[in-house]
Chains A and B, each alone.
Chain A
């Protein structure tokens, strides 16, 4: 109970991951979907660091998490640029309206 181990971190990470998936599935606002993706990425990075602390000594886990953060920042910048374009074209950020290419 008071001896925090790998499983504690795994459970937190899994719960946050699933909440992120649920956020991505239920939000209709494109930025809300981006928030869900951030949750998923954070859960994954937490897993890397927890394994690096408890099972694989060394810096592998921490540096993997650093690269996850780099990817997340890049993804956010591009996604927001795309959303701004979408908003300029459709005057809304509701992803259900992005159906111009629907057959």
Chain B
């Protein structure tokens, strides 16, 4: 079982990183958007491995089903230029690569040497939370963020409707 879990982890991790790399290297925005599907699906697989079943389902429904379709609609509505959009200039790419590599190295050093690595005791057994538990937690312990999120969604709805409305001149 441990072997299977490790195998699945490496498959999902490789898919996630590879798809992200493909987003970075792809010149065509449609291809980038499709590669995002690989990243989001692999992230959902990792959530399943982390015993977060509900979250994995939400990831697949909201992200892969909703956000990705929204992005593809955005790509279509903004029109594809003839040919791929030119990349940034060479110097900008070099600066971006240097910044990303330095950031990556720094974060790796911090994450792999932080106090959480040496925390004693074995990892707690994976327990998939029941939907009932998640629902009651959302409406008790997490009531304030839940309500804030609902207000945020209302504001976003009004804002998007306002922005998308044709301007009266």
Contacts and interface: CB of A to CB of B under 8 A. Distances in A.
Interface of B (DSSP majority class):
helix
Q: How large is the interface on B (under 10, 10 to 19, 20 to 34, 35 or more residues)?
A: 35 or more
Interface of A (DSSP majority class):
helix
B23 A42 contact: no
Given A4-B9, A29-B85, A81-B164, A38 B36 contact: yes
* Most B C-beta atoms less than 10 A away, residue of A14, A17, A94: A14
Interface residues of A, number: 72
B39 A77 contact: no
Interface string B45-80: 011011110110011001100110011011101110
B46 A4 contact: no
Nearest to B159: A78
B25 to A, nearest CB: 10
Interface of B: 2-3, 5-6, 9, 13, 16-17, 20-21, 23-24, 29, 32-33, 36, 39-40, 43, 46-47, 49-52, 54-55, 58-59, 62-63, 66-67, 70-71, 73-75, 77-79, 81, 85-88, 92-93, 95-97, 99-101, 103-104, 107-108, 111-112, 116-117, 119, 123-124, 126, 129, 133-134, 137-138, 142, 145, 149, 152-153, 156, 159-160, 163-164
A78 B163 contact: yes
A10 B112 contact: yes
Given A26-B88, A66-B58, A81 B20 contact: no
Contact of B20 (A9, A19, A87): A19
B50 A85 contact: no
Given A38-B67, A49-B52, A14 B46 contact: no
B116 A51 contact: yes
A86 to B, nearest CB: 8
Contacts of B133: 59
Contact of A18 (B67, B87, B92, B104): B104
Given A84-B74, A87-B79, A8 B156 contact: no
A76 B50 contact: no
A25 B79 contact: no
Contact of A39 (B39, B58, B70, B77): B39
